[in-house]
Amino acid sequence: MKREPSAEEKAFLEQYRPQDYPRPAVAVDLVILTIIDAQVRVLLVKRKEHPFKGGWALPGGFVRVGSGKEQGEDLDAAARRELLEETGLDPDRVLIEQLYTFGRAGRDPRMRVISVAYVALVRPDLAPIVRAGGDVSDADWFSIESLKKQELAFDHREIVDTALSRIRGKLEYSNIAFDLVPLTFTIPELRHVYAIVLDREMDPGNFRRKFNRMLEDGVIERAPGKRITASKPATVYRFKRR
Amino acid sequence: MKREPSAEEKAFLEQYRPQDYPRPAVAVDLVILTIIDAQVRVLLVKRKEHPFKGGWALPGGFVRVGSGKEQGEDLDAAARRELLEETGLDPDRVLIEQLYTFGRAGRDPRMRVISVAYVALVRPDLAPIVRAGGDVSDADWFSIESLKKQELAFDHREIVDTALSRIRGKLEYSNIAFDLVPLTFTIPELRHVYAIVLDREMDPGNFRRKFNRMLEDGVIERAPGKRITASKPATVYRFKRR
DNA sequence: ATAATAGTGTCTATTAGACAATATCCT
DNA sequence: AGGATATTGTCTAATAGACACTATTAT
């Protein structure tokens, strides 16, 4: 929106003082997903402070809001900053997108907190470096399965569920699967990702046919080499982009 | 999340005082859509105050945040309240759902405002009563076409575009079309809604076949009477729910 | 040689789309 | 009777799923 404010409007803005109606705190929370040991995993951090001290929660933090002309950081920037801070991962190498905004009154007992949730997909070859960043005991990749028996802080379970449902939906009609697989991959490996995320077997033949259409569309291309497996080696491909 | 805080945590909460880091204002903005005169229309209101005084903007307002134990209203509640206040429409009779959260720094020149945008679909038979609520000159249904030449306040054009793109997408795989049509409708009427929203003609025969599957699935049912038209009258149906 | 799985082929059912043909009502 | 459009029918192409079959490698 590029426009030139009128003189009158400029004057208004000069003398404008925000009313002190109570304002909520605004946070970004991240659902950082990857695949480790054939399981979908979400990164959780152990809370150091009340409330839910010692409990597991999604990584996140408050959005930086400046004062005066400096209004602070964009929401996306806050999400990317948190990703970097909490995992050490380069936000440019990770798919990160806004998920949904959770703002139920009382979701944080301290005060009114509105949380803009983001989902991030981390390629499994990048996931191991995450631990290196912080104290191992303070962050861990929880499998979705184990989450069923794990209590989460705040409404973070609901946020995780929303994220999974979103990712499962997008798997059908988008290319996000390529963000859950190393830079080069075989068709069976990609198929496993689908099977793991959707939690159902995919027919190898039918999957390959779908995949071949992507090849024809130029979305992916062959990469050099073959992947050695316990049986017949598989052709290696790579996604075109990045 | 139902849980019993420990005594220590209770003590923590008792003495907790929110830090006075600057906080953003949080608003809900509504993209209220309907169909009038065979055009998709969005409800805009004329701004009474700076900035953008006299300009057209999406209806909306700040989320009510309490202080202390009273944390105020949920985001959905705020959206429903604004809908009622700005249009007089019963939120229970209107499809309303969260769209996306816009929080770019500088999007409001006064101060940092994070806007949780909602989309609402108003059945065309309910749309006329909207005017009655407020001053006619202060609110109007703008056709999408006319919006191209109409400047909007803040980043509201981006919000409207996001809403339209969302609605167009959902038209393909959900039942939202029934929220853009009167309680009873004919197949051609429903087809016109698709054609208007997607901005392309729909083949009458093919559309009917898709529609017949909904009939078989029990999503819709025949309603009494026939719709008299300029030519052959059409069978009347109704959506099963509400 | 055998196990395992990569990769191909075939058949069926479903759905979208183009388009022709018929039915029914208003004027 | 004629115009308009609701409604039905037909054909083709694209896609998904079930499943049989062949190919190639490690062991």
From first to last of the 242 residues of chain B, give the pLDDT tens digit.
556 777 877 777 677 776 668 899 999 999 999 999 999 999 999 998 889 999 999 999 999 998 777 889 999 999 999 999 999 999 999 999 999 999 999 999 989 999 999 999 999 999 887 765 555 568 999 999 999 999 999 999 999 999 999 999 999 999 999 999 999 999 999 999 999 999 999 999 999 999 998 888 888 999 999 999 889 999 999 998 64
**What are the residue ranges of CATH 3.90.79.10 in chain B?**
24-177
What's the token pair of residue B54?
């006299």
Residues A24-173: name the CATH superfamily: Nucleoside Triphosphate Pyrophosphohydrolase (3.90.79.10)
CB contact under 8 A, B72 and A114: no
The pLDDT of residue A67 is 78
The pLDDT of residue B2 is 55
The pLDDT of residue A214 is 87
The pLDDT of residue B136 is 55
User: In terms of Cα–Cα distance, which of A146, A103, A208 is closest to B78?
Assistant: A103
**What are the residue ranges of CATH 1.10.10.10 in chain B?**
181-242
Residue A185 has pLDDT above 90, yes or no: yes
Q: What percent of chain A has pLDDT over 70?
A: 93
CB contact under 8 A, A1 and B157: yes
Look over chain A and give the mean of its residue pLDDT values, rounded to a whole number. 91
**Across-strand partners of B227?**
B234
The pLDDT of residue A217 is 84
What's the token pair of residue A185?
């991959």
Q: Whole-number Å distance, CA B187 to C1' D16?
A: 28
B229: nt with nearest C1' to CA: C26
Q: Which residues have CB under 8 Å from B73's CB, separation 6+?
A: A105, B63, B64, B81
CA B204 to chain A, closest CA, distance in angstroms equals 27
Confidence of residue A130 (pLDDT cuts 50, 70, 90): confident
* CATH fold group of domain B24-177: Nucleoside Triphosphate Pyrophosphohydrolase (3.90.79)
User: In terms of Cα–Cα distance, which of A173, A175, A157, A192 is closest to A238?
Assistant: A175
What's the token pair of residue A54?
């010692």
CATH classification of A181-242 is 1.10.10.10, yes or no? yes
Tell me which amino acid residue A162 is.
T
What's the token pair of residue A94?
């990770």
The pLDDT of residue B134 is 57
The pLDDT of residue B19 is 65
Average pLDDT over residues A190-216: 94
Average pLDDT over residues A52-78: 92
The pLDDT of residue B167 is 97
Range 117-156 of B in CB contact (< 8 A) with A: 151-155
Write out the E strands in B182-233.
184-186, 220-227
* Of residues A107, A112, A153, nearest to B65 (C-beta): A112
CB contact under 8 A, A12 and B101: no
Residues of B in contact with A81 (CB under 8 A): none
CB contact under 8 A, A50 and B1: no
Report which secondary-structure segment, H or E, holds B97: strand B95-102
Report which secondary-structure segment, H or E, holds B110: none
- DSSP characters over chain A: ------HHHHHHHHH---------EEEEEEEEEEEETTEEEEEEEE--SSSSTTSEE--EEEPP--STT-----HHHHHHHHHHHHH---GGGSEEEEEEEE--TTSSSSS-EEEEEEEEE--TTTTHHHHHHS-GGGEEEEEHHHHTTS-BSTTHHHHHHHHHHHHHHHHHHSSGGGGGS-SEEEHHHHHHHHHHHHTS---HHHHHHHHHHHHHTTSEEEEEEEE--SSS-EEEEEES--
Residue A1 has pLDDT above 70, yes or no: no
d(CA A158, CA A140): 19
Tell me which amino acid residue A60 is.
G
The pLDDT of residue A145 is 95
The pLDDT of residue A133 is 53
* Of residues A5, A70, A74, nearest to B103 (C-beta): A74
Residue A234 has pLDDT above 70, yes or no: yes
Could you give the count of Cα atoms lying within 13 Å of A81 in the half-sphere of its Cβ? 13
Report which secondary-structure segment, H or E, holds B212: helix B204-216
- In the 3-class helix/strand/coil scheme, how is A51-111 assigned residue by residue? CCCCCEECCEEECCCCCCCCCCCCHHHHHHHHHHHHHCCCHHHCEEEEEEEECCCCCCCCC
Q: Most B CBs within 10 Å: which of A71, A73, A100, A172, as the mutation test of the B interface?
A: A71
The pLDDT of residue B131 is 64
Confidence of residue A66 (pLDDT cuts 50, 70, 90): confident
Tell me which amino acid residue A151 is.
E
